Structure 1
Amino acid sequence: MRSEEADLVNKLSARLSEEIENLPRDGKDHELTIKIKGNRGHINLGHQTFDIKTAKEPPPAGSDRARECPQCRRCTWRYTQLCMHCDYNLQRHDEVTEHAKEQARKERLNLQTLKICISCVAIAVLIFIASDYLPVTLKPWAVTLTGVLGLFAFMLTTASKKS
């Protein structure tokens, strides 16, 4: 687009915006006429009709672009930052929700690790106590198994502290 045409389009857009702002906000249809005089090169605007809607419209029912606002529970657009009804910050809500889910996942993982460690230590202690009652040929195996389970529990706790 040449600079002269771009300048004309910018002026026309500014004038349209100004006229739209001056329209009454009574919800009725209003006619807006802008007359352009003179020959402006190859731009032929002709007769145009524009529907200008100032009210916010929710997404179509069943659309994949719709979502429910967690604050007002009304249907709003999925990929906007603010709810169109109550201006709730949907983007921040999604970030906080994702962070909470990640924290819950980490807590579940830590709880599972703790259960495994306690089980390993309990089994190791039982094997160590029972080794006194085992035949002499099985005592070295019992002590070795106790050490392996203790080492495994230690490695699990060390790994869970790093993550």
Structure 2
Amino acid sequence: MQRVLVIGPCGAGKSTLATILADRLKLPLFHMDQLNWNPGWIESSKDEITSKLHDIVATDRWLIDGTYDGTLGPRLDRADTVIYLDFPISLCVRRLLKRIWTYRGRSRPDMTEGCPERFDIAFLFYLIRWNSGPRIRTEARLKGHEDKMIRLRNPDELQRWMDSLPAVA
């Protein structure tokens, strides 16, 4: 695992897993939220984020966390491993609400400084509708990349997979 993507719905634990894995595998870590958002919740342009990602994926070693469907193609093409946290949406909603409460009014570690955590009803509805929209688009993009995908359907499967990884010196 030298070029790794961690994808899945909001609240699945992508950033937490990515942080642990990047440390364990000694890979440079990039959070899509940090690449996309500028202070004050100002979104990067498509050209800006594409340029940032081009430079990252051109290197030999990286771990990128975040689904961001519009930029998934080039990342998938270069990744040697895709970890898909395909967790139940009810769990993801609970985790998202906990995250909002925990970090309310301040930026979380995987987000750009100056983007304080806040409740966003549209974002919550996006997550609630994950299975009927974003999931379908994401899985369509994954077609042809099944050979490098590790699909984990719940936290217990994730823990068993993590426990099975060999130690890295």
| Class of the TM-score when normalised by the shorter of the 2 chains | under 0.3
Say which one has the larger Rg.
Answer: 1
The structure that is strand-richer by fraction is: 2
Give the TM-score taking structure 1 as reference length: 0.15
Between 1 and 2, higher relative CO (CA 8 Å, sep ≥ 6) is seen in 2
